[in-house]
Structures are given as structure tokens and as C-alpha cells.
Amino acid sequence: MSTPSETSKKLTKLNPKVVISSADLTHLEDLADSMMRRQPALADRLLTEISRARIVDATKVRGDVVTMGSTVTYRDETTAQEKTVTLVYPEDADIAQLRVSVMTPIGVALLGLSEGASFDWDTLNDQRRILTILKVAQPAINT
């Protein structure tokens, strides 16, 4: 029997490197654990991404890596359509403001990727698409 991680790898042809900051790690793990009953498949996917990620100190994460609070522009390689969203925790999500929760399929997929990375994406109609990260902007730090 396959483990969830093995199943995820079989389904995904493109498996780009993932980097997660140590500052985000605990909150993301706690979030995935708390979502296990309501959204088990998505929580498992987040835990799979965390398990394969390289964890680095927040001060050492490159500026082109998608972290919590990053604004990301990506392109659908099939339609050439571009979209810009900000990756946030569920309590801050607001689709009208293009603030996408990390506990959505696209949120989990974007987390930890770098500019130029491409990844497989399955639409609601079960069509496989390739999305490419074009630009990542980090949130302003309030001092």
C-alpha cells in the first residue's frame, strides 16, 4: 500500500524544490494538524510539502521564494493567462482581495516555490495544466 507521500509523487510529474522558513513551519504544521478532520486530503498535501521542504531560517529565505504573505504572479502555460495572488493563512483569506489561503489547493501548491518554478495543476474539470511562477514579492516588514 502506498503512503500519502508516495501517492502525491506519482500524481505529480513536476515536483520542484520547496523552501519553507523556520518562522512559518510551526504555524503551518499546527494548521495542517487542525484541518485533518475537515479537509484531510488538503491537510495531508500540506504535510507532504512540508516533509519534502528544505527548512531555512527566515532571514536566509531568498526574496524570490513564496512564503506566507508573499504576492505571487503565475502563468497558466496552456492559456498564457497570468494571475497575481497573495498567500495568507485561512483567517486572512479574501478571494475578492486576491488573498488566497494556504489551505486551498493553489495555496499549498505555491508555498515554498521560487520564481521560474513550474508545477502541475489539476483544474476543477480534471484538466492537467502547468503553472509557472513569474514573480514573487515579499510583504513589507513593519518596524
Whole-number Cα distances in Å, 72 to 58, 105, 110: 18, 15, 8
Q: Give the pTM.
A: 0.83
pLDDT tens figures, 46-83:
999 999 999 999 999 999 999 999 999 999 999 999 99
The CATH number of domain 16-137 is 3.10.50.30: yes
The set of residues, in sequence order, having a beta carbon less than 8 Å from that of 23 and lying 6+ positions away, is: 58
Torsion angle, CA of 68/74/76/81, rounded to 10 degrees? 130
pLDDT tens figures, 78-99:
999 999 999 999 999 999 999 9
Q: Which amino acid is at 75?
A: R
